[in-house]
Amino acid sequence: MSSTIERRFDSRRDAELAVERLVQEHGFARTDVFVSSAGSENSVGEKRNGGDTATHLEEERGDAPLSDPISVSVDVNDDARAAIVVQVFDEIAGG
């Protein structure tokens, strides 16, 4: 069985966290994990988070392009690996 599992995240931070957990904690090859804007324009997601927000020394930032969610997709070739991907995606998207 070979399939692709995809999930959309509201922020770039959540998408990057999903990738980090899959690669570092669960041993997925980084070449099997794909990250892109879910739309046709460059985007950091639908909400600012992490480095896209203002710090205590600056006013609100407006330079981060907000338009579409961030899509993370993973190629998997067995049911056990697919279950791990779904679990990680659910934990981050729900957290």
In this structure, are residues 8 and 38 in contact, taking their beta carbons and an 8 Å threshold?
yes
User: Is the confidence at residue 66, as pLDDT, over 60?
Assistant: no
Helix (H) / strand (E) element for 50: namely none
pLDDT at 45: 52
Per-residue pLDDT reduced to its tens digit, 17-46:
999 999 999 999 999 999 987 665 555 555
pLDDT at 11: 85
Name the residue with tokens 């609100």.
60
In this structure, are residues 43 and 65 in contact, taking their beta carbons and an 8 Å threshold?
yes
3-state secondary structure of 33: strand
Q: Which domains does the chain have, with CATH numbers?
A: 3-94 (3.30.70)
Per-residue pLDDT reduced to its tens digit, 78-90:
999 999 999 999 9
* For the chain, percent of residues with pLDDT exceeding 90: 53
